[in-house]
Amino acid sequence: MIPPVEAPRGRGYRRPMAGWWRRNPYFFWYMVREVTAVGVAVYALVLLAGVVCLARGEPAWNGWLAAMRSPVSIALHLLLLAGMVCHAWSWFDIMPKTMPMLFVGGKRVEASTITRAGWVVAVVAAIALYVVARMLRP
Question: Given the rule CB under 8 A, which residues bind another protein?
Answer: 1-3, 5, 10-15, 17, 20-21, 23-24, 26-27, 30, 34, 93-94, 96-101, 103, 106, 108
Nearer to another protein, 111 or 122 (CB): 111
Provide, rounded to whole angstroms, the least separation between the CB of residue 117 and another protein.
17
Provide, rounded to whole angstroms, the least separation between the CB of residue 9 and another protein.
8
- What letter represents residue 120's amino acid? V
CA angle (42, 51, 88) in 5-degree steps: 40
What DSSP line would sit under 47-91, residue for residue?
Answer: HHHHHHHHHH-HHHHHHHHHHHHSHHHHHHHHHHHHHHHHHHHHH
Provide, rounded to whole angstroms, the least separation between the CB of residue 21 and another protein.
7
Nearer to another protein, 14 or 137 (CB): 14
- What letter represents residue 109's amino acid? V
- What letter represents residue 125's amino acid? A
Nearer to another protein, 22 or 56 (CB): 22
Provide, rounded to whole angstroms, the least separation between the CB of residue 20 and another protein.
5
CA 55 from chain centre, in angstroms, equals 28
Q: Which of left, alpha, beta for 10 (phi over 0: left; psi -120 to 50: alpha)?
A: left
Nearer to another protein, 11 or 69 (CB): 11
